[in-house]
Chain A
């Protein structure tokens, strides 16, 4: 099962979390499921790094948490994007695009 898996490059986890939350507020487990799902199982979020990342983002004020009832009526901590989180997401997305484009360029020349 894990043969196709790619380790997340440094710094991308925050971006993925922000992007996921931009779709709708989610609790922790659902965030990791969603990332895994959307990336067709290529990206897997280590639970051990998900929660520290959530706490860090919350401290920065990019996301905020509140307790709510989940689909099957269980208590869950939902995270949602704040306004400054939206701006941060835009900034990081464009950074990421430029980065990947630049890396792609370098790689194609090196061929």
Chain B
């Protein structure tokens, strides 16, 4: 009817104004239309009167000519072109009424969706806090990480001289600045504690655009001359907790690792530093670094690479330009200092993409991807369930749909109505999901916090709160699931056969094969998806179980561990050694203590140092690196206190001192690895070079857990005597006859008495350590996370199977009645109903197994002692799922057989 010629020009503005007026002044537009039509009507009646008709007849005639006045109005509305929004509002109202009508069903659907969406919101907000949230600084998108890459190794840090050169030449950046994270001891007024810091360049704060909360921050160039007294900017949390938010701390002095430093200000609350997810207690000027650490070559040695460098891109400079300029500078450095910087490369990475650290980013997407795939699967299952239920409801509503179609609703209109309803449903689910997700985060966050705080004193700060990114992600999930769950019933609604639907009065044994097919596909997908989730859960649970039963190689009961680093009190080696000796003898004398020992570290707590192994008489080609093996420095009592069995030879003794022949004890794996089929006692190896100096093996210890993460297979490991090797950081082990927790206060008091300025880094029982971050915690977290999702999947699949079978049983009530009336036994009926569900479950299981094989490959590196394709897990989990599905279909099927044939036949 329109005159859409090819040259029609649509004045956009008048169109827009017209539509807007029509939308926002709908009432007045509608009443104008009323007036206009009434006037027309009156005139037509008058015309008929003039031609001699009686009033009644004139009116009747006019009405006939007019056609349906409502239809005219509706067409005018369409012509006005606002109907899209109006329709949406109408659909929304209608949808709400429909949802309100069947509250129980709506609640079920919303809860199902809320679970699915909530899991996604929670996991995503953790990832968001981890990887996506920008730094709270000025224009965070312009901040780049400059990662220095020597040809070999993972190092990504700059030496101070390289940093200076780079800073001078980097024209693409308005600022190039750096920091070096570390931990030190902070002592104020006789109270010592551990202190996480970033030593920062003078321009660090100005480049980031951070303003002080109190006092002042460092100024460009400040603190970059050797030997000055270090300046300190306190972090907000540290200022609150350790200084009681006292404003007078500014310009007071504290001891950092025994060196005096002046507090010049406090950083704002939202700023936590630039070191990934850690909250810095304070920011030291760069000159503090060589004074509190052992890097004497900091200012002058290009091999002393400690600085993490950042740059702020100049306005208008693109990442590509910055990259090529960095390449040029790196090339110049390499040419200028071939001895130290040859083959150097500098990568420019946007800060957010370089988390947690530039050299490990490659594996973050895998983990992040995996942790998004699992909840997405849960959501998919939830959606499948909801889609299935909506499909069932669509059958029930077929008459309603048919009536609306008969009244003139077009196919599109019906589809839109259905989609609006499902979107409304998922939106409610989304709101529930966000609330649920927030609850889950805070619950798991406080749980995680309570566990990690028992194993580490570092303030790990992961802000997983809901922000717009989480909401956008959730909204995306809502829309996608809304369309997904709505599209099936909507397509059906669009295909309703009016005649049949109205005539048959919604009689239900006439369901077409098409609908069954959709529902069957949905069911298969559901079973497959939940099997995948369950198998992943199973693998993680098995992995936890293996981890719990892994052979430790020491006795964790009645053992207390104390870690400290005398450098944090400013002690040198001589003072440190005498302190540890004195502490050892004092604690050993305490009542309730059986024995004590000292070592660099204990298993599953913090990483052990490692060193290259040059076996005597075995030459390494110069271009090949010898294997790096972890080791521990221990005193004579260590093996006995931890109860690590000695297999051969002797333990260290007092005679193994600085002046004696260097000695070592190796574990069985190391002995086998380097001296296969030989007696290792008396063999020698070097940590320095093929030509010595050599240490001689005097004993072989039993294999056990050695590294800081649990590992299923024993790793090569060796021990050196503490007397011949010094480290300021030491772990003391206390074997007690009383519960080890009861000794904590007493041991702390002994340390404080001996060294008031020394913070205790860690004091925990060995059992806590074994269950902590380096031990079982990771495995427990993974297992519970995957377990929760697996159980959700199982529940959803069960509900799905149950729903489908029980619905098809009700639909077939008449058929069952007829069959039974004709003499079919209950058994026959049972088989008839359950057979299909079983077949579908089988197909779903097969598909799920295939999917699980693919999915579990991603998990390989995260499992302990379990292969990704672990047959036991695959078989047992499939059996469990099949059994549950069987049960879920058996119950409604059995109910169907209890039908009285007479009742069934009279049904409807």
A residues with a Cβ closer than 8 A to B are 10-15, 27-29, 33, 46-49, 51-53, 55-56, 58-61, 67, 74-77, 84, 88, 91-92, 95
Number of A-B contacts (CB under 8 A): 93
Once bound together, how far apart are the Cα atoms of A84 and B11, in whole Å? Answer: 8
Partner of B8, one of A49, A67, A88: A88
Distance (whole angstroms) from the CB of B12 to the closest CB of chain A: 9
**Which of B70-78, B377-385, B652-660 lies at the binding interface?**
B70-78
Q: Which residues of B contact A33 (CB under 8 A)?
A: 47
Q: Is the CB of B44 within 8 A of A29?
A: yes
Q: Is the CB of A51 within 8 A of B37?
A: yes
Once bound together, how far apart are the Cα atoms of A69 and B71, in whole Å? Answer: 28
Given contacts A10-B1, A60-B8, A76-B39, 20 further A-B contacts (CB under 8 A): A11-B3, A11-B4, A12-B3, A14-B3, A15-B3, A27-B39, A28-B40, A29-B40, A29-B44, A47-B65, A47-B66, A49-B75, A51-B33, A51-B75, A52-B79, A55-B76, A56-B2, A56-B79, A75-B39, A91-B7
Once bound together, how far apart are the Cα atoms of A100 and B35, in whole Å? Answer: 38
Nearest chain-A residue to B62 (Cβ)? A47
Chain B residues 1-33 with CB under 8 Å of chain A are: 1-5, 7-11, 14-15, 18-19, 32-33
Q: Jot down 29 A-B pairs with beta carbons below 8 A, ordered by A.
A: A11-B1, A14-B2, A15-B3, A28-B36, A28-B40, A29-B39, A47-B65, A48-B67, A48-B68, A48-B75, A49-B1, A51-B75, A52-B1, A55-B80, A56-B2, A56-B79, A60-B14, A60-B15, A61-B11, A61-B14, A61-B15, A75-B39, A76-B36, A77-B32, A77-B35, A77-B36, A84-B9, A84-B11, A92-B5
Q: Which residues of B contact A61 (CB under 8 A)?
A: 10-11, 14-15, 18
Interchain residue pairs A-B with the least CB separation, the first 5: A61-B14, A55-B79, A52-B75, A14-B3, A61-B11
Q: Which of B36, B68, B78, B81 has the most CB of A within 10 A?
A: B36
| Residues of A contacting B: mostly | helix
Nearest chain-B residue to A15 (Cβ)? B3
| Residues of B contacting A: mostly | helix
Q: Is the CB of B35 within 8 A of A75?
A: yes
Once bound together, how far apart are the Cα atoms of A63 and B812, in whole Å? Answer: 61
Q: Is the CB of B72 within 8 A of A48?
A: yes
Nearest chain-B residue to A18 (Cβ)? B3
Q: Is the CB of A95 within 8 A of B5?
A: yes
Nearest chain-A residue to B37 (Cβ)? A51
Q: Which residues of A contact B68 (CB under 8 A)?
A: 48
Q: Which residues of A contact B32 (CB under 8 A)?
A: 67, 77
Q: Is the CB of B1 within 8 A of A47?
A: no
Q: Is the CB of A47 within 8 A of B19?
A: no
Chain B residues 153-178 with CB under 8 Å of chain A are: none
Q: Which residues of A contact B66 (CB under 8 A)?
A: 47-48
Q: Which residues of A contact B33 (CB under 8 A)?
A: 51
Q: Is the CB of A53 within 8 A of B14?
A: no
Q: Is B43's beta carbon under 8 Å from chain A?
A: yes
Q: Which residues of A contact B35 (CB under 8 A)?
A: 75, 77
Q: Is the CB of A60 within 8 A of B11?
A: yes
Distance (whole angstroms) from the CB of B594 to the closest CB of chain A: 93
Q: Is the CB of A51 within 8 A of B76?
A: yes
Once bound together, how far apart are the Cα atoms of A88 and B4, in whole Å? Answer: 11
Once bound together, how far apart are the Cα atoms of A15 and B81, in whole Å? Answer: 20
Once bound together, how far apart are the Cα atoms of A92 and B43, in whole Å? Answer: 30
Nearest chain-A residue to B66 (Cβ)? A47
Distance (whole angstroms) from the CB of A17 to the closest CB of chain B: 10
Distance (whole angstroms) from the CB of B902 to the closest CB of chain A: 55
